[in-house]
Chains A and B, each alone.
Chain A
């Protein structure tokens, strides 16, 4: 059974810091890996999707990498801002059916 782990559960950093959020998964036979953002009381918004054949994806200040062989992904946030404060969830899709297995998320707080 696929398991996705995100550690730590919470992180607090000062504004302007570059930071890395980690995600690990147990089964390397994934179709893709995605990073989502969730604001309190809201639904999930997709940030980046990395196909299994890709190594990284970038969008603005965000960069996500994927190492399938080691079962790891990282989300790099450059020059963090208070508006980046949210919960970041990692999810993997196993098989071509859009079934996602999620990690529990990392709650990020960026202090002004």
Chain B
């Protein structure tokens, strides 16, 4: 099992550019989520999905889009990058039943200039 993989590990964007952060898991987890981590702010939920074809907004969804066409993949799209989106982004997945312990990916460090 590779667990939760995220690509790229690092990315620098210019203001206004768009990009997609990739997240994949091979554990057949139903639930997947995207968080951002900023200094002094902790982790905040951006979007989440309870299964293929189903997504919903978290605490800070503005400027981000998601889709879930397969169980394995949950990409996060930045439509028009802004300096306020400079952050570390973490993807997580878990089963829908049981103790629901999330498995986190290693993160993507994004800088928007």
Contact = CB atoms under 8 A, between A and B. Distances in A.
A108 interface: no
B50 A43 contact: no
B14 interface: no
Interface stretch (A11-19, A62-70, A75-83, A93-101): A93-101
Given A42-B107, A45-B104, A97-B48, A105 B42 contact: yes
Contact of B99 (A4, A32, A42, A44): A32
Interface SS, B side: strand
Contacts of A43: 4, 90, 104-107
Contact of A104 (B41, B48, B100): B41
Interface residues of B, number: 26
Contacts of A26: none
Interface in B59-113: 90, 92, 94, 96, 99-107
Contacts of B105: 43
A74 interface: no
21 contacts: A4-B42, A34-B101, A43-B90, A43-B105, A44-B102, A44-B104, A45-B104, A46-B101, A49-B99, A49-B101, A89-B42, A98-B50, A98-B94, A98-B96, A98-B102, A99-B33, A100-B35, A100-B43, A100-B45, A104-B41, A105-B42
Interface of B: 4, 31, 33, 35, 40-45, 48, 50, 58, 90, 92, 94, 96, 99-107
Interface of A: 4, 32, 34, 36, 41-46, 49, 51, 89, 91, 93, 97-105
- Chain A to chain B: the 6 pairs with minimum beta-carbon distance, closest first: A43-B104, A104-B42, A98-B31, A102-B43, A44-B104, A102-B42
